[in-house]
Amino acid sequence: MDATSAITADVDKTQIPPLNHKRVLAFVNHFLVSTCTFLNEFALGCETKFVQMERQLQKTEAALLILEAKLASIPTEPHLVDDKPKVSAPTSAPSESNASIPATELPTTEIQSDTEDPPECIGVRASEDARYRKFFKMVHVGVPAPAVKQKMQSEGLEPRILDNPDLILADGIRE
């Protein structure tokens, strides 16, 4: 019986000699050992990469905490002091028809004209709001705006407000 006749269908399978059990066992054993070795090395490599990424993430988080602490130490912006006399001492009452001009629709926000002095403050400018002040400081110091927007979103705030620092927030918090 030759090798080509074993492949064709016209061979009597009862005439083929049996496989050597020791040889089959050696092949299976080699396959299992090499597969386990590969899987162990792969798992070790993945674990090493995860540890490196975790360390890098911890370094980045520590740098962000240091940056936030530095930003908190910056005194309040000087334009906050200039705005208060304008609001507390109005010269003339504006007409009711031009008291506020609606702008792009953001939740609970309005924009007021810069030339008018309302008798009482309706809201707070976004850059003066206690919740958003530190993010405007981050941009002022030089942190990239997309990174600041991502941080705002992670804290549950609206990142589009960063694009409009003069936006008047009706629910603003003044400190």
* Span of 65-79, 87-101, 155-169 with lowest mean pLDDT: 87-101
What token pair was written down for 18?
């049996």
- Among 8-12, 56-60, 88-92, 127-131, the range with the most confident prediction by mean pLDDT is 56-60
Sheet holding 168-169, edge to edge: 109-110, 168-169, 124-125
Reported as a single tens digit per residue, the pLDDT across 40-61 is 999 999 999 999 999 999 999 9
Binned at pLDDT 50, 70 and 90, residue 104 comes out as: very low
Quick check: 123 and 172 in contact, CB under 8 A?
Answer: yes
In b/e form, how buried is each residue of 42-55, taking b as 16+ CB within 10 angstroms?
eeeeeeeeeeeeee
Q: Which of 87, 166, 86 is nearest to 120 (CA)?
A: 87
Binned at pLDDT 50, 70 and 90, residue 3 comes out as: low
